[in-house]
Amino acid sequence: MLNQIVVGKRKSCIVLPLAVIVAIVCFGAGPAKAQGKPYAALERKLVADGFPRRVVSDALRYASPPMLGLVCATMRTGGGRPDYSHFLALSEIAAVHRFIYEHRNCFREEKAEFGVEPEIIAALMLVETHFGAYTGKTPTLAVFSTFAIMDQKANRDRVWSSISPQDRANWGRRAFDQKLLDRASWAYRELCALFKLQKMGAMRIAGLKGSVMGAIGWPQFLPTSLVKYGVDGNGDGRINLNNAEDAIFSTGNYLRAYGWCEAGTRSQKEAVIFNYNHSTPYVQTVLGIAQRAGLR
C-alpha cells in the first residue's frame, strides 16, 4: 500500500488568453503595491482559524504584493473558446507513448492500485503541462492571498475601477461583487490547504510557483486536491507533483475518487474528466488523446 495523504484538485476552470497572461506577468502587482500591509486582515483570519501566528506572519511577510492585474484579467468578459486541437497531432500522441513507456513500471503499479489506465493519466498531463515542461511561474502564495483579500470592499473597488467600462457594464456591480466574494472564499480554502501541506512536511510554500490560478505540479492540482488525493508514489516520504511517480499515482487516485473505474459509457467518462477541468473542449481533447494512444 502506498503512502498517501488523506487529509482536494481542482484547478480553476478559468482559461486566460496568452496576451492576458503576459499582462499579468508584467503588471501583476497592480495598484495594491502602495498598500502598507495588504494582508494584515488575512493574517488575523488565518491565526484565528488556528494557524500559528509566526508561521503565517513569516509566509505573508515574504509574499509578493497583491496581484490585482491577475484579478482584473479573470473578470474580463467575452473571449473565445480555448483551442486544444494541437494536442491531437501525431507528434503529441507519440510523446504520450514515450511517456508511458518510460514510466511503464510506475503505470503498472498505479493500475493495480487505482485501476486507471495509463493513456488517460498521460493524456491529462500532456494537456496540463506537457509532462512538466511548463508548470507555471506565478507565486502560488500570492495568487491565493490576492483572491482571498477580495472579501474586502476596498480591494474590490480597486479592481472595479481598473476593468474596462464594457466589462463593468457586462457584469453589473452586484454580480461583480458576488463573483469576487465567491473567489475569496475559494482562495481562502486553498490558502488554508497550503499551510496544512507545509505543516505536514509535504512542501515549503515559500517560493512555490504554479499557474496563474494557483495550480501546481505536472497534473496541476490545487492545494485542496493535493491534500485530499496526493500520493507518495516513489516512497520517499513526501509528495512532489513535479515528480513523475507522485504525479501519476496522485492523478490516478483523483480519477478513481471521481468514478473513473465505474464509468462505462462515453458520457460517464466525460463527466469524470469534466470534474478535472470544467471545459467541454478540454474533456473532448483529453479523451481523444487517450483513445488515439490506445485507450479502449
| 40 and 146 belong to one structural domain | yes
CA-to-CA distance for 165 and 10, rounded, in angstroms? 31
Three cell numbers written together for 129: 503541462
41: containing domain? 11-82+137-215
Whole-model pTM: value is 0.87
Res. 15: pLDDT tops 60: no
Q: Which of 180, 215, 250 finishes a domain?
A: 215
Which pLDDT band holds residue 6 (cuts at 50, 70, 90)?
A: very low
Residue whose grid cell is 520517499: 236
Report the number of distinct structural domains present in the chain: 2
pLDDT tens by residue, 68-120: 999 999 999 987 788 999 999 999 999 999 999 999 999 999 999 999 999 99
At 204 the pLDDT is 81
| 187 and 227 belong to one structural domain | no
Amino acid at 207: G
149 within 8 A of 155, measured Cβ to Cβ: yes
Q: Which of 195, 215, 235 finishes a domain?
A: 215
28 within 8 A of 69, measured Cβ to Cβ: yes
* Residues 6+ positions from 120 with CB-CB distance below 8 Å: 255, 260, 286, 287, 290, 295
| 142 and 257 belong to one structural domain | no
DSSP 3-state of 216: strand
| 153 and 91 belong to one structural domain | no
Tell whether 2 is covered by a domain.
no
Helix (H) or strand (E) holding 231: strand 231-232
Question: Cα-flanking dihedrals φ and ψ of residue 4, to 5°?
Answer: -140, 135
Which pLDDT band holds residue 212 (cuts at 50, 70, 90)?
A: very high
CA-to-CA distance for 148 and 160, rounded, in angstroms? 16
Rounded alpha-carbon distances, angstroms, from residue 116 to 4, 103, 123, 230, 253: 17, 14, 12, 15, 8
Please, is 79 exposed, middle or buried when counting C-beta atoms within 10 Å of its C-beta (0-12, 13-18, 19+)? exposed
* Residues 6+ positions from 183 with CB-CB distance below 8 Å: 74, 147, 150
Res. 26: pLDDT tops 60: no
Amino acid at 138: T
pLDDT tens by residue, 155-177: 999 999 999 999 999 999 999 99
Torsion of CA 243, 230, 232, 193, to 10 degrees: 90
Question: Cα-flanking dihedrals φ and ψ of residue 95, to 5°?
Answer: -65, -40
Q: What is the mean pLDDT of residues 6-19?
A: 40
| 59 and 188 belong to one structural domain | yes
pLDDT tens by residue, 222-248: 999 999 999 999 999 889 999 999 999
